[in-house]
Amino acid sequence: MTQQTVVSARQLRQVYPISNGFMRKADALQAVSNVSFSVKAGKTLAVVGESGCGKSTLARMVSLIESPTSGELHIGGMDVVRASANERAALRRKVQLVFQNPYGSLNPRKRIGQILEAPLEINTTLTAEQRAEKARAILAKVGLRPEHYDRYPHMFSGGQRQRIAIARALMLEPALVVADEPVSALDVSIQAQVLNLLSDLQRDMGLAYLFISHDLGVVRHIAHDVLVMYLGYAVEQGEKETIFTKPLHPYTQALLASTPGLAGSGPAKTQIVLKGELPSPLNPPKGCVFCTRCPHAVERCHQERPPLVELMGRQVACFEAERLATN
């Protein structure tokens, strides 16, 4: 059976005006530049890259916190950009967020039951008894006990708090969960438990995940597809195993080479050390955005911006990718 596409984006851009002071023309910061992707029900797209690459901006657009500057975004087949206020309100119920910090995302003055029931109270006509019943059922689904319903957030560990945050995200039965670094604030021993929980919930509920992460070890565990971003641009994207086994873009190779055990069988098995600083997004390089740090850059790379093209089972934005793949 063909799986339904839950979210699709085409040429998404997010540009922020940056003030230069009174009576001066504002600069333009391109946080996300022409990014396209789709996620089907029951699948996970992981978005990876260094801090400042545009991952979280992409998450804010998909979760309807921000509207894109341009491009197309469809959720459940509905055009988000052209949707009315009522339609956007309905769409927000289909997309829920799990935040990075489980210590800051839960109201310390509210009991867990109140936190879980709040989305139902706002968005549904369920009675208090029905809301409580659903909250207790979701608690059980994420591996917590019935007595936790009446406790406060400070009484839980970080891993338990993140389970509560996941439970809250599931209360409205969303089609898509946007998880922004959901395990990075947790101990390594707890990360695996939360990732396994997310996988189990995806299997049981058919959820689609947009998973934001800088940790490729985590991505290897949970993703089906990977989108690698650098300075707001997609530089490589495709199925996880294709990219992890033989990365083609030098930036992807560097990311994998810096993660023990994930160097792959391609060029990344040779240690690549990135040199120089990340360029300012206010003044990106003229050609390829990675050319100032790329060990394989040629003159063309400094003059032209490579498009994403199909190569060896994935899309890659690199003039030298085919040559590097055959070496």
Residue spans of the domains in the chain: they are: 241-327
In degrees, rounded to 5, the angle at the alpha carbon of residue 179 between the alpha carbons of residues 178 and 185 is 160
The tens digit of pLDDT for each residue in 207-228 reads 999 999 988 989 999 999 999 9
Strand segments (E) across the chain: 5-18, 27-40, 44-48, 70-75, 78-79, 95-98, 176-180, 208-213, 225-230, 233-239, 309-311, 314-316
Cα separation, 257 vs 90, whole angstroms = 43
Please name the residue that has the structure tokens 């695996």: 192
Nearest-CA neighbor of 199 among 173, 181, 180, 218?
218
> For the whole prediction, is pTM greater than 0.75?
yes
Token code pair at residue 25: 């023309």
The tens digit of pLDDT for each residue in 225-283 reads 999 999 999 999 999 999 999 999 999 999 998 887 665 444 445 566 777 788 888 88
Q: What is the C-alpha end-to-end distance of the chain, expressed in Å?
A: 40
- SS3 track for 172-188: CCCCEEEEECCCCCCCH
The tens digit of pLDDT for each residue in 95-139 reads 999 988 888 889 999 999 999 999 999 999 999 999 999 999 999
Cα separation, 257 vs 272, whole angstroms = 6
Nearest-CA neighbor of 85 among 99, 110, 67?
67
The tens digit of pLDDT for each residue in 44-87 reads 999 999 888 999 999 999 999 999 999 999 999 899 988 998 89
DSSP reduced 3-state for 223: coil
Q: Cα dihedral sign for 12, 278, 235, 218?
A: negative
Distances (CA, A) of 58 to 14, 46, 89, 164, 186: 8, 12, 19, 24, 23
